[in-house]
Chains A and B, each alone.
Chain A
Amino acid sequence: RKEVEQDPGPFNVPEGATVAFNCTYSNSASQSFFWYRQDCRKEPKLLMSVYSSGNEDGRFTAQLNRASQYISLLIRDSKLSDSATYLCVVSNTGGFKTIFGAGTRLFVKA
């Protein structure tokens, strides 16, 4: 079983749609969780951290379920510029071992 698993997609959605991505992780001792965004042929960049209480940043909402060991990302009112690959990231204490999921590709169409 992979340490971090994501649905690779692609997700093809129209502008304005709401889309949700899920990610599962295998190490119950994982401490830190993130969503990164990666544009084509570019380096990944942090989108948002994921906290146990859930957190929101504009149109983006991230949630963590430790009991079930999954993380989610919800994007509301999708924009064309949201088209990218979204990477789920799990890390142990101190960030010594940070594991990236393979990513979920999103295409937002006009």
Chain B
Amino acid sequence: SQTIHQWPATLVQPVGSPLSLECTVEGTSNPNLYWYRQAAGRGLQLLFYSVGIGQISSEVPQNLSASRPQDRQFILSSKKLLLSDSGFYLCAWSVLGNAEAFFGQGTRLTVV
């Protein structure tokens, strides 16, 4: 069966510090991978999606970047965090041709 791992679960970082969130998927090959952010009391905002290694599409201009160094690994990064980067970050995967998305447990990031 397929599983998705996302870590850490919670993170408190100072303004201006770097960020690296990692997500890995097991049990499937060539998944579509996604990073979403959910601000407090808000819906999910699609940040990045990837249909293959090294292929990243950005949905919104921002302080973040994403990379996919391996087929089942998706990384969200920032060189310098802003207060506005605080939120609940969710990694998700889906299979080509099937839009159903499966989510990791999320990382709750607080920038102080």
Contacts and interface: CB of A to CB of B under 8 A. Distances in A.
B43 A98 contact: no
Given A87-B44, A102-B42, A96 B100 contact: no
Interface in B40-60: 42-44, 46, 49, 51, 57, 59
Interface residues of B, number: 27
A87 B99 contact: no
A87 B100 CA distance: 13
A103 B99 contact: no
A7 to B, nearest CB: 12
B32 interface: yes
Question: When A and B form their complex, which 8 residue pairs have the shortest distance between CB atoms, in order from nearest?
Answer: A95-B99, A102-B43, A91-B99, A32-B99, A43-B103, A100-B44, A95-B94, A43-B106
Interface of B: 32, 34, 36, 42-44, 46, 49, 51, 57, 59, 88, 90, 94-106, 108
